[in-house]
Structure 1
């Protein structure tokens, strides 16, 4: 399977951790967004939305990390623990995945204002970020995992986002800190130990952070 990705992307790293958890090997093809490699005619044939990540499996192309992790789990996982067959568990996992989209989007908007544009962050964006983290903190209250009693694709997607938030929290202008949220912090420390591929996920975020450290 060809996997078009950027190590700087949290969603891409979520797919990589999922693939490792399942035990499938991906042919990783880096896409340099700064050079516009996601806008080439060849790439647009695979993914008209020109986003990363994109997975191509024997001619079948799918994009959006959440769609990809579900696809990998349903097709290649030997057991259904990452994406259980139970409709109720799947509903909860899907909810967490949809929430991860919201969390990542708010984070990116906040990051763009506070770090990339090097301007004073807009209060409303900061408040949205805090609201999302407070909700995640509530969801994780009393739970070792995002859903149920074992690791699922919801944990891996959220982990990629939360790792980025944690590493970037020391950047100038970035005042959101997950350590202020007890349940998130407890879950995060647990994920560091049980999530396959966590260390590579962390190393990729640390490498990206260097671009923003003077």
Structure 2
């Protein structure tokens, strides 16, 4: 196996989703932090890797890939001993893809809207409508878990990693109350029991969560 290098920053949910996948596959990799606040993603050497200047970026022995969804499906396809994390069966894969599209198109943007208000605009007042959009995403994720322990069926998949990385940051804006979202709350607890959860996601959340808490945001 060639050398794997991941470029990213811990505060990024897409980066953490890739780290979760790497740990689930038991892969060794070098982690190179890209300081987005300092503009390192705009330096010429990084733009040669990714002209879109985003993280994560994976370097697999010279093969460069960006976008966490593409990276995670690639990692499973190349390195997994089975296809459980991203099934080859078309119907099972389609279900995983649907969850991934919902995460990237709805769940992540809903939280980013709140995050942008609080951190980027330095505005502690979050409109109720933005919180409502996040609540709607929670409701639908809870529905996805109606008949299974994981988001795309009975097995853990990369869809779980993507949503987990996102939600564990968003919960500080809107709690996942077990009375309102019992299946989603139970899923979060199951995911936190993964042996690699804390190293891959939990501990890496701390800096971004400290920034959020310091803003003392309120809903208006």
- CA distance in structure 2 between the partners assigned to 1:72 and 1:60 by the alignment: 12
Residue 107 in 1 paired to residue 105 in 2? no
Deviation at 1:38, TM superposition (A): 0.4
Greater helix proportion: 1
Q: Say whether residues 1:5 and 2:3 are aligned partners.
A: no
RMSD of Structure 2 on Structure 1 (CA): 1.5
Q: Which residue matches 1:130?
A: 135
Query: Is this contact kept in 1: 2:20–2:196, CA < 8 A?
Result: yes
* Number of aligned residues: 206
Q: TM-score, normalised by structure 2?
A: 0.88
Change over 3 Å in CA distance of 1:213–1:127 after alignment to 2: closer
- Is 1:145 paired with 2:150? yes
Rounded Cα–Cα distance in structure 2 between residues aligned with 1:34 and 1:41: 16
Residue pairs, 1:1-214, within 5 angstroms: 1-101=4-104, 102-114=106-118, 116=120, 117-166=122-171, 169=172, 174=173, 176-179=174-177, 180-193=180-193, 195-200=194-199, 201-214=201-214
Q: Tell me the TM-score normalized by structure 1.
A: 0.90
Shift of 1:115: 5.1
Unaligned runs of 5+ in 1: none
CA distance in 2, matches of 1:143, 1:192: 17
Structure 2, gaps ≥5 residues long = 215-220
SS at match of 2:37: helix
Q: Which residue of 1 aligns with 2:217?
A: none
Change (3 A) 1:25 1:98: same
